Amino acid sequence: MQMAWFKRRKKKLDDTSLKYGVGLVTYTNPTGQIAEQFKTVRTNIQFSSVGRDLKSILFTSSEPSEGKSTVSNNMAVTWADQGTKVILVDADLRRPTVHKSFSVSNRAGLTNYLSGNLQLTDIIQPTIIDNLDVISSGPIPPNPAELLGSERIKTLIKELEGQYDLIVFDAPPVNTVTDSQLLAAQVDGTILVVPQGIADKNGVRRAKQLLETVHANILGAIMNRVTAQKSEGYYGGSYYGGNYGGYYGTEGK
């Protein structure tokens, strides 16, 4: 007899962004409804950190394929639009997409810097967007956690802080690998991307706990893939719109 749990197959990952990059709707349609939602999130993040200098932000989620790259990359564009000098760093050394999304080379990137082979000037690449530069992942190494946990990451952040107003890290998921925990301990703030109706509640709770273990400064969560009906429940009728939901602080939750 076959037990039900034998039948359960592992959820297939959506690899579209891995192949083609994420949709930069904030660039292609900067006055549209979705771009407006990203602006709202930008404002809310600003409010959540009043009085604290926020120079580096990490975007992560509990599991793979939940929208970290889509949200972090579009947020980077939204900050750059405002005149903030932004550097977007692809710290997802296992499933990198930034080079695809911004059509830049990935011959040299973060891994080359962290392993001590290249300098910052060798890995920073401009994009078609004003005020936005990127650092791609670089060649995928056999030891991502070791690289991201090295002292070089602190040097990188310090160096970038000298040149940019804001560093945005697109990171791997928290529950599957330790990479994001290592990074979260080094940045000023961490944001969890939570796909509504898709993310498992316990998984999100676990991610929050793992981040708290390393004393990460969790700024809040961004609800991704929020439908109109669902967001009404969250915002008491005030509809923040389409796919990208609002942003809420995690304090006390």
245 near ligand ATP, judged by CB under 6 A: no
47's tokens: 């409010």
Shortest distance (Å) from residue 162 CB to Mg ion: 27
The entry of ligand ATP, Mg ion, none that residue 224 binds, CB within 5 to 8 Å by partner kind:
ligand ATP
Q: Which is nearer to Mg ion, 101 or 125 (CB)?
A: 101
How far is Cα 28 from Cα 52, in angstroms, rounded to an integer? Answer: 32
Q: Which of residues 90-109 bind ligand ATP (CB under 6 A)?
A: 92, 95, 97
The DSSP code sequence of 155-221 is: HHHHHHHHH-SEEEEE---TTT-SHHHHHHTTSSEEEEEEETTTS-HHHHHHHHHHHHHTT--EEEE
| Token duo for residue 32 | 């549209």
Dist. CA 91–CA 68, nearest whole Å: 11
Residue of 56, 60, 61, 69 that binds Mg ion (CB under 5 A): 69
131, interface contact from ligand ATP, Mg ion, none, CB < 5-8 Å by kind: none
Q: Quick one: what does residue 16 bind among ligand ATP, Mg ion, none, with the CB cut-off 5 to 8 Å set by partner type?
A: ligand ATP
Locus of tokens 């509990």: 62
Considering the rule CB under 6 A, would residue 243 count as an interface residue with ligand ATP?
yes
Contacts to ligand ATP from residues 210-229, by CB under 6 A: 224-225
- DSSP element (H, E) containing 230: helix 228-235
Q: Is 56 in the site for Mg ion (CB under 5 A)?
A: no
CA-to-CA separations, 11 to 3, 64, 147, 198, 225, in angstroms, rounded: 18, 10, 29, 11, 18
Q: Which residues bind Mg ion (CB under 5 A)?
A: 68-69, 97
Q: Which residues bind ligand ATP (CB under 6 A)?
A: 14, 16-18, 22-23, 61, 64-70, 92, 95, 97, 173, 224-225, 243-244
